[in-house]
Structures are given as structure tokens and as C-alpha cells.
Structure 1
Amino acid sequence: MQRRHVILGLSLAAAALASPLTAGIAHAQDAYPSKPIRLIVPFPPGGTTDIVGRLFADKLSQELGQTVVIENKAGAGGSIGSAQVASAEPDGYLLGIATVSTHGINPAIYPNLPFDAEKDFTPISNLAAVPNVMTTNPKVGVKTIGEFVELAKKNPGKFAYASAGNGSVSHMMGELFKISSGTDLMHVPYRGVGPALNDTLAGQVDVLFDNLPSSLPHIQAGKLVAMAVASNKRVAALPDVPTFAEAGFAPVNDSSWFGLIGPANLPKPVLEKLHAAVVKVSADPALMSRLESLGASPVANTPEEYAQQISAEIAKNKRIAKEANVKID
């Protein structure tokens, strides 16, 4: 009898100690966010990732009632910034932007990443889909993708395509196009899309695979010829340019995406609050208009859908890397 009283007393004491702690954690999650949120953009300022990140940071700040502060942590193809998110405390005060590069391509081609793209993060939502585009320099002398494929097949190895670097989105897109079209194009990697774009404009290389926002002004000015866009529908700014699916190259038709992630084990109340905020701001007319001007569109899918999207992207790029023999040591 005495032993039962002792056990009961210990249980009550433990409950008394645990209750304030549990209540404190619950209150902290209910009150989230109670201070500024840091948002890691794993690439330099000025690129598409930075533009999308800043656009959503501004709207999320208004919706959440706390400032969302952008921090650019570039390097190693986005891996440095992504690793910082993976190692952060899972309290919702340090988040990151994930891209096709950081969470689709890098896990498929780099053998020693400092994180596991599927296990070390909490996917919150895909924020925006941005079309990719294939362009040629006007001197190539073709107007359609069909004409280019026919010309390239007659002249194997003659034409070169520029990319933003080995293992970049544009590199993997170029290799996938080669596989899908049965063409033999030479890959010329650059240190970023800027110099790749400049040399394509100058005619030093014939073809460029790129995110649409950086190439669009040059297409509209007639300095580049758009062959096809990777998008689920035609782009309003380029109504006469087919999607890759329409042109018969459906495997190349995936847009780039830019999503919101946190460290693994983000508390459910925090995750739900962040996801609800993304859904709400994605319907904001000003945000939608700005995205449309970039040829982009909001996505705002569920955490589960975004997790599936990341896994599918990794699997796809593993297949491309194997078939095209893409390796990054």
C-alpha cells in the first residue's frame, strides 16, 4: 500500500513538472510568429530565386505580422544555404527557398551533399512555377523547334548549347532535350546564366536553355528566337511559342519551381500557420500580377504534394544523370 502511494506521488509530481513545460511549448506555437523570420535564399541577389523569395517574403510579412528577412547564402550550387536550413532549430524562425537545383538536381549528381533533401527538411509549399525556355541565336536560321531538330540531325555535333554550369537546371534540361529529340549537341557550361546568355546573344553558342524571366526581354527584342517553353500551358507573353509537350517533347516540359521549406520536424501548428499564409498571399492580385510579368504562376500546393514533387524531381534527375553520364565530383 505504501509503495502505491509513493508511485502515485511520483507520477503526480512528474505531471506537475511536465504540464507547465507542455503548456509553454503549446503557447509558443500558438503565438508563432512572435519575432522576425529569417528566409535563406541559397543563391546571389538578382536571380529568379531571389526575386521570388523577396516577393513572397514581403507578402508573408504582411500576413504573419512579423518581418520576413531575406538572407542570401550562395555557394556550391545552393547547397551552403540549404545546409544552413537543414541544421536550424525547427521552430519556424529560419526557413529557406528550395529549387529544382537544390532539391532535385544536386541530390541526383553530388555524392556528398551535407544534407538529405528528402529527410532533413519540412516541405511547406511550392510557391511558384517558372517556365523554362529553349532559344536559338537568329543566325542559326530556324523559326521552329521542328526545323532546329531536323537541322541538328543533319549536322550532328555542329551545334552547341550554353548552360549556367555543370549540374545546373539548364544543363540537365539540355541533356534531356538531346535524349528526347535524338540530337547531338555540344554542351558549353558557363559560370552562371549571365555569361551563358551573353555568349548566346553574341552568337558564340547556338542554343540556350534558361529560366524564362532572364531570356524573355531578348526574345521580345528579336535577339533570340524562342523554340519552346517548358510550362503546362503557353506563356501569355509568347502566345505563338509552343510548349515542349505540344512540340512532341513532353519529357522536357517541366517548369522550374521555387518552394518554401523549413528544417525537419517543424511543429504541426507552425507548419499549418505557414502553409495557410502561403495559400492566402498566393491569391493576392498584386503578387499574381508580378509573377505573371515574369511568366510565372503561384502554386500553393500542400506540404504532402510538395514532398512528392521533390521526390519525383530527384528520381527524374537521377535518370537523366545516368543516361547522359552527368557526374559532379
Structure 2
Amino acid sequence: MSIRPFTAAIAIVMLAAPLTASLAQADFPSKPIRLIVPFPPGGTTDVVARAVADPLGKILGQPVVVENRSGAAGRIGTEYVIRAPADGYTLGIATVSSHAVTPVVYSDISYNVERDLAPITRLASVPNVLTVSKSLKVDDLSSFIKAVQAHPGRYTYGSAGSGSEANMMGELFKLTTKTDMLHVPYKGSAPALQDALGGQITAVFDNLPSSLPYILSGDLQALAVAAPERVSSIPNVPTFKEAGVPELNDASWFGLVAPAGTPPEIVEQIYQATKQALATQEVKTRLGGFSAVPVGNRPEAFAAQLKEEIEKQRATAKRANIVLH
């Protein structure tokens, strides 16, 4: 007889738990949401995050606060999101570098982005570009390839760092065109561009936004862009596909993720709000200012793209024998 009240109490608690969770989801969001950027302020990733954060917060009815947690090729910020409570109040920006390249080139990764994160949507696509120093007298991509092929090991290319998307792009370029260039890694694209301006390195693989001012000023020569079509700000620069190297024609992308286990209802709510934010003229204008194109695809579509990108980068890393520690 004495067991019955205890049993009844347990039953009440068990029934109340799902109800409490449902009420919490129904009230979402009831406090500010943190958006973790795994790179420093000022870069393309940070700019994309801040372009979306304010309009998204207005739609959700709570502020979306951008936090930069950079370091270790994006691992610090990515791990922070993975370890956060799966309640929708901590989101992260995913990039090709941090969520597709880093997981396949570093041997000591303790997480799996496909298992430990819930994709929400692809926010935007941004063209990549190959620029060369003005001191290099070439007319187009074809003549550059011929020059590098004729002098193996003489020419150099700079990137934002070992294991970055730009590094992988450079290695894929070498594999595809059967050329041999020395990789010079930098701490970000800015110093690489400065050395290209000074003629210390031959070429730079980069996101277009950071290279664009130097292209428009004529200080660097753009040979090709990685994008579905030519970019309006530099209409005379062909895509890699047009220039005969279609393997390099994939644009960079930036996405939105949550910790794995985030309730599907909350993921859907954030997705719908983000899609609405991306459709606003405010966001279109801000993203268009640096040649970014808003996307806003469904979570399952972004998950498939993330998986495809990881496999692509894994194949390149294997062919180029890139293993970092």
C-alpha cells in the first residue's frame, strides 16, 4: 500500500517531463540567441553572420548576438557549439574550411560534424578567386598554367593558412592542371594579398570579397572565379569552368547549424525565420555588397551538401597527402 503514492508520483513526473519540454519549445525563443562565428571579426564569415543576425532576431522576437570564438582552424568555435545545450539558444556558422576541410585534414579531431551538429540552412554562397601579381606577365588562366608547367617549383601561391579552403583549392588546382607550385601559408588572406601586391608570392587563392578591392584597383590580376556564373562586379573575369578548369568552379558557402539533438520543431522554426530574413532587401543588399548570394535551402538539403563537401575535401586531402596535427 505504501508503494502506490510513490508510484503515482513517479508517473506524474514522467508525464510532466514531456509537457515541460513541449511548453519550452512552444515559448521558443524566450531569451537572446548566441550565434558563434569560428573565425575572427572582420572576415567574410563574420560579415555574413552579422548581415543575417539582426534581421533574424527581429523575426524571432529575440536578439541574435554574434560571438567570435576563433582559433585552431575553426575547431574552437565548432566544438563550443557542439557542446552547448541542444535547445536552440546556441547556433553556429559553418564554413567549408571549418566544417569540411578541418575535419578531414587534422588527425586529432575529437568530433564528427555530421553526427554532432544539426544543419539548419545554407545562408549564402560566395565566389572564390585566383589572383596573380602584376609582375607576372600572363594574359589569362591558360597562359598562367603553361608558365607554371614550364617551370615546376618556381612559382608560389598564398592562402589563408594550412588546411584552409584556399589551401585545398590550391592543391586541387595543382592536381588538376598537373602543375607544381610551392604553398606559402599565412595567418589569414590579408597578409597573403599584401605579399602578392609586393611580388613576394606569385598567386593567391581566396574568397572574392577580400580580394575584390585589389582587383578593381588593378593592383592584382584576377584569372578566374569559382562561381556558377560570372560576377557582376568583375564581368570580364571568366569562371573556372569557362576557363577550362571546371573542377575548381565550386563557390564557397556559409551555413547555419545547431547542436545535434536540437528539437526538430525548433530547427524548423529557426530555418523558416532565417529563410524569411534572407529574403529581405536589407540582407540581399548587405550580402550583395561583397558578391555573396543568399540561399536558404531546407535543413535536409544543407545536410546533403555538407556531406558532399566533406567527401570532396577528403578526396583532395588524400590525393595531395595533406595531414595536419
Deviations 1:211-238 (A, max 9, x none): 0000001000000111100111111101
Pair 1:113-2:116 in alignment: no
* TM-score, normalised relative to structure 1: 0.95
Question: Structure 1 residues 241-250 or 5-14, which shifts more?
Answer: 5-14
Counterpart of 2:260 in structure 1 is 264
Counterpart of 2:15 in structure 1 is 19
Counterpart of 2:219 in structure 1 is 223
Q: How many Å apart are 1:244 and its aligned residue?
A: 0.8
Q: How many Å apart are 1:55 and its aligned residue?
A: 0.9
Q: What pairs with 1:98-247 in structure 2 (closer than 5 Å)?
A: 98-247=94-243
User: 2:293 and 2:3 mapped to 1: Cα distance?
Assistant: 60
User: 1:17 and 1:217 mapped to 2: Cα distance?
Assistant: 61
Counterpart of 2:62 in structure 1 is 66
Question: Structure 1 residues 186-195 or 267-276, which shifts more?
Answer: 186-195
Q: How many residues were matched structurally?
A: 325
Gaps of 5+ in 1: none
User: 1:284 and 1:307 mapped to 2: Cα distance?
Assistant: 24
Which residue identity lines up with residue 311 of structure 1 in the other structure? K
Deviations 1:68-115 (A, max 9, x none): 111110110010010010011100011111111111001111111132
SS at match of 2:115: coil
Whether the aligned pair in 2 keeps the contact of 1:163 and 1:210 (CA below 8 Å) is yes
User: 2:8 and 2:76 mapped to 1: Cα distance?
Assistant: 47
User: 1:226 and 1:281 mapped to 2: Cα distance?
Assistant: 32
Gaps of 5+ in 2: none
Aligned with residue 303 of structure 2, among 300, 307, 317: 307
Aligned with residue 248 of structure 1, among 238, 244, 250: 244
Counterpart of 1:33 in structure 2 is 29
User: 2:275 and 2:65 mapped to 1: Cα distance?
Assistant: 20
Aligned with residue 279 of structure 2, among 280, 283, 290: 283
Q: CA-atom RMSD, angstroms?
A: 1.7
Aligned with residue 38 of structure 2, among 42, 54, 58: 42
Which residue identity lines up with residue 139 of structure 1 in the other structure? S
Whether the aligned pair in 2 keeps the contact of 1:132 and 1:229 (CA below 8 Å) is yes
Deviations 1:157-189 (A, max 9, x none): 221111111111111000011111111111111
Q: What pairs with 1:56-95 in structure 2 (closer than 5 Å)?
A: 56-95=52-91
Question: Structure 1 residues 180-189 or 200-209, which shifts more?
Answer: 180-189
Q: How many Å apart are 1:6 and its aligned residue?
A: 11
- Tell me the percent identity: 47
Whether the aligned pair in 2 keeps the contact of 1:42 and 1:97 (CA below 8 Å) is yes
Which residue identity lines up with residue 140 of structure 1 in the other structure? L
- Runs of 4+ residues deviating >4 angstroms: 5-15
Q: How many Å apart are 1:190 and its aligned residue?
A: 1.3
User: 2:169 and 2:101 mapped to 1: Cα distance?
Assistant: 11
Which residue identity lines up with residue 223 of structure 2 in the other structure? M
Whether the aligned pair in 2 keeps the contact of 1:143 and 1:225 (CA below 8 Å) is no
Which residue identity lines up with residue 251 of structure 2 in the other structure? S
User: 2:277 and 2:150 mapped to 1: Cα distance?
Assistant: 50
